[in-house]
Structure 1
């Protein structure tokens, strides 16, 4: 098979209107995913395959400048040709352009499928050793209902016999060219090239596709494509808790939730003794199994003497981000007889949100008393309890 010439036709002549509600936006094949245009990714998938000898792109008549702006350069990349009024006509235009070089095999690929893997391409090429055509498929997992009027169920299909077709679809060049020429003379629209081959009596094999070999059709497909590029890892939820307590000493203010609050005492401690932020910090450390504040900022180290506690909180948030995670929500409860906490809650939420780069709506700050009981009831100090919910990549 390595000695055979293999050409690829990338069908990119559509306007992608279903994926672009904004008619002034670029057609979907020229829009970026992960900072790279969809069409560039699709072409690149085939130029990087060692068995492909040439790639021809079929574009819309109005898209010549857009295609040139992609800046693609490769000896195997042929000048683009203009497509027809529909996909079937565009494929035929590509086949006609390839006819002078008459490759042994041709792979026909949708421009809006940028994730054709080397394995899927290999599967199609290998099947052409014994078959006239081949297409990658994915088994249908949903239950499929048939309806005659679109309102009532007529029957349930046997999904064990149903498969979703993908691209690239591969064929022996002369056979599929002849089939397309014949199909162009009749009044019938075929849904894909494999259907034309089937209609022409060619033997078409199904090979393994891949669930990530998606076609970008609707606006939400761009979000899915971005997730695929990011790894689309399965996330899991983690919960961490934190607890901190500091005693009072003579002073005129306390730091709570990053806010300086005038009061008749101050809190005793190595840093600014912000029990609320300390509890939140430990909750985040706990959620990723990263110890506590004392591990990262030991009180024996004098550089942290009097340090502002948002520094600690930011460090914990950075560790969550480095683990590929995100903060879902934070909840802290402050237990004290004084000072009054409620007037300062909005400012606390704002400081925590700014420190961690999350929305204030993900943060809850509450306060209560201990009904004059215990050391907090005797106004000897303040307690804070916190919980943190995060999402991180699942570890099996």
Structure 2
């Protein structure tokens, strides 16, 4: 039997609150979707993978796929406005010879290769199967959305929470989706449409750890499941550069009009350098001079934002997650108030974190010291980073 796996990866993840698709959010040092694909490509039972993506994310996901050198063909389908439209596009992209199709959420990174192999075994005597776990909490149904709505308590012993992958005969699921389109049905999982056809669905034993990434609160739970406990670490960074004529003044990745600029081997962005050292310190790593020595021509006049993104990659490889950053510039002049939001946005973009967790501030030294005499500028930064406990 030819088996196709549809991985749904087209969502925007608005509830998650990330600067882009939540599937790119770091989990144990890698994007969420990288874990999912790792498991899918390692499954022995599959013959092809259909990745349903948005146009905006397609190139980045293709790069991610190339890292794995998959042994099976990978096809791409365009995501739709809703999940069911995305899955339907994936169904149409399957090979004509597909017998079994498995639909899996890109946001479920825990389910290992065996979930796909076991799912195929269930198809010997079934047309549809889902993984599910028993509901532990009491579930109540509301009559409406008002705070004082009437409630109806459902019988807990009969309730299950379904997961993915969900497994179907391709012809069965395609017929179910055609039926749903014809009757204007909507659902949040694929088995619902098969149920609407009146077909029975086999229930396979799921696992609470097969958690779907929906909000940021899911990340530390999955990290614990996948690699053990993590602990928050705090790091501090400090940097200073002299002011000289004939150089641009670059602070937080923003070029600011001023009669002098900061001198250094790179663009001498004192603000970014302090942030880099704070992050490396929080992760228990060495200072920026170790990774980006001023003796190397590679870093001559380089944008410090590019170096900051390299620090992010170093932290990712170590399995770290950035919680927040607080950085303060010490300079007599110029005033930077109008540039602060852009600086925070630049730092956030380089580190793939929301700008809301980056604080940029500035102060003078009241004309005291080398900063007060406008001979140079300094910056101090603090960063909190979650580090795997076994590191």
Question: Under a length normalisation based on structure 1, what TM-score does the superposition of the two structures give?
Answer: 0.54
1:321-345 Cα deviation digits (max 9, x unpaired): xxxxxxxxxxxxxxxxxxxxxxxxx
Give the corresponding residue for 1:74: 70
Higher relative contact order (CA 8 A, sep 6+): 2
The equivalences for 1:158-177 within 5 A come to 158-177=155-174
Of 15, 35, 58, 1:18 maps to 15
- Distance across 1 between alignment mates of 2:229 and 2:134: 21
Mapped contact 2:44–2:117 kept (Cα < 8 A): no
Structure 2 equivalent of residue 51 of structure 1: 45
- Aligned residue number for residue 115 of structure 2: 120
Q: Return 5+ residue gaps in structure 2 as ranges.
A: 231-388
Q: 1:227 aligns with which of 224, 233, 245?
A: 224
The equivalent of 2:186 in structure 1 is: 189
Which residue number in structure 1 is paired with residue 197 of structure 2? 200
Following superposition, the deviation at residue 87 of structure 1 comes to: 0.7
Q: Which residue of 2 aligns with 1:142?
A: 137
- Equivalent residue pairs, number: 227
In 2, the alpha carbon distance for the partners of 1:49 and 1:229 equals: 18
Looking at structure 2, the residues matched to 144 and 179 of structure 1 have their Cα atoms a distance apart, in angstroms, of: 28
What displacement does 1:132 show? 0.7
Alpha-carbon contact 2:132-2:163 (below 8 Å) kept = yes
Displaced runs of 4 or more, over 4 A: none
RMSD over aligned CA atoms reads 1.9
Contact 1:120–1:208 under 8 Å retained in 2: no
The 3 A distance-change label for structure 1 pair 182 and 153 is: closer
2:80 to 64, 81, 84: 84
The CA deviation at 1:179 is 1.6
**Deviation readout 1:149-187 (Å, 9 max, x if unpaired):** 353453322111000010000000111112212222332
State the 1:223 CA deviation: 1.7
Contact 1:105 1:173 (C-alpha < 8 Å) held by counterparts: yes
Task: Report what 1:62 is aligned to.
Answer: 56
- 8 Å CA contact retained: 1:117, 1:213: no
Structure 1 stretches of 5 or more lacking a match? 234-392
Contact 1:5 1:53 in 2 (8 A): yes
What TM-score do the two structures reach when normalised by structure 2?
A: 0.55
Match of 1:178 in 2: 175
